[in-house]
């Protein structure tokens, strides 16, 4: 009876070993399948996030392009109005003395930089570079010692045009910041 018992015992051990090996293999397959599924889910989530970021960036670029176009059109409109105003001023105003030399000198000194930095650049020039001399006008208050009505009106028109340009830029910046803040909120 003992040899048969060993046979049964050996058969039982072999069956247990095969069952353990089979169970181990099935668990390995399940783990690999779960790991693969998780990796696929992470990759899909990352792809969706990338696409969302790309779409948001594209929309922001389109908005900025539209804003830049609108700003350029507004500046062109302001410059056209300034040119029209200067032409109209020439026909409406007399060239009589309006401000004396002391007043003109005081007004000219208001915007003079104390350190001579020349922070304002002329169109097409670099900041700090010396500006090109102004074209000789029919009446130059710096050399005449007084400002005429036409000079005063031209300065006012130029100031209004520059104010309009800066106000338009500020509105564009505020629009961009409002849109950026709205996009950051949940």
Cα 101 from chain centroid?
45
Residue 11 domain flag: yes
Produce one character per residue of 166-175: b if its CB has 16 or more CB atoms within 10 Å, e if not: eebeeebeeb
Cβ atoms of residues 89 and 157 within 8 Å: yes
Cβ atoms of residues 184 and 178 within 8 Å: no
| pLDDT digits (tens), the chain, 186 positions | 577 888 888 889 999 999 999 998 988 988 988 899 899 999 999 999 999 999 988 988 898 888 888 888 888 888 888 888 878 777 776 677 777 777 777 766 665 545 443 434 444 444 444 444 444 445 555 555 667 777 787 788 788 888 888 888 888 888 888 888 887 654
Produce one character per residue of 45-83: b if its CB has 16 or more CB atoms within 10 Å, e if not: eeeeeeeeeeeeeeeeeeeeeebeeebeebeeebeeebe
Residue 129 domain flag: no
User: How many domains does the chain contain in total?
Assistant: 1
Residue 130 domain flag: no
pTM above 0.85, yes or no: no
Per-residue pLDDT reduced to its tens digit, 130-143: 444 444 445 555 55
Residue 7 domain flag: yes
Per-residue pLDDT reduced to its tens digit, 160-184: 888 888 888 888 888 888 888 887 6
Per-residue tokens: 131 = 């500006």
| Parent domain of 44 | 2-118+138-184
Tell me the C-alpha distance between 69 and 75, whole Å. 10
Residue 74 domain flag: yes
Torsion 28-32-38-41 (CA) sign? negative
């Amino acid at each position: 009876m003992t040899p048969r018992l060993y046979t049964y015992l050996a058969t039982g051990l072999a069956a247990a070993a095969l069952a353990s090996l089979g169970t181990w293999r099935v668990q390995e397959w399940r783990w690999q399948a779960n790991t693969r599924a998780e990796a696929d889910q992470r990759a899909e989530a990352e792809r969706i996030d990338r696409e969302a970021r790309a779409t948001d960036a594209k929309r922001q670029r389109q908005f900025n392009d539209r804003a830049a176009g609108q700003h350029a059109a507004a500046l062109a409109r302001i410059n056209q109005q300034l040119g029209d105003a200067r032409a109209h001023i020439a026909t409406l105003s007399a060239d009589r003395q309006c401000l004396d030399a002391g007043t003109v000198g005081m007004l000219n000194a208001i915007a003079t930089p104390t350190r001579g930095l020349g922070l304002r650049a002329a169109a097409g020039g670099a900041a700090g570079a010396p500006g090109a001399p102004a074209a000789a006008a029919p009446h130059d208050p710096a050399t005449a010692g007084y400002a005429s009505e036409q000079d005063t009106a031209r300065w006012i028109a130029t100031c209004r045009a520059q104010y309009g340009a800066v106000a338009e830029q500020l509105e564009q910046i505020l629009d961009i910041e409002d849109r950026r803040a709205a996009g950051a909120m949940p």
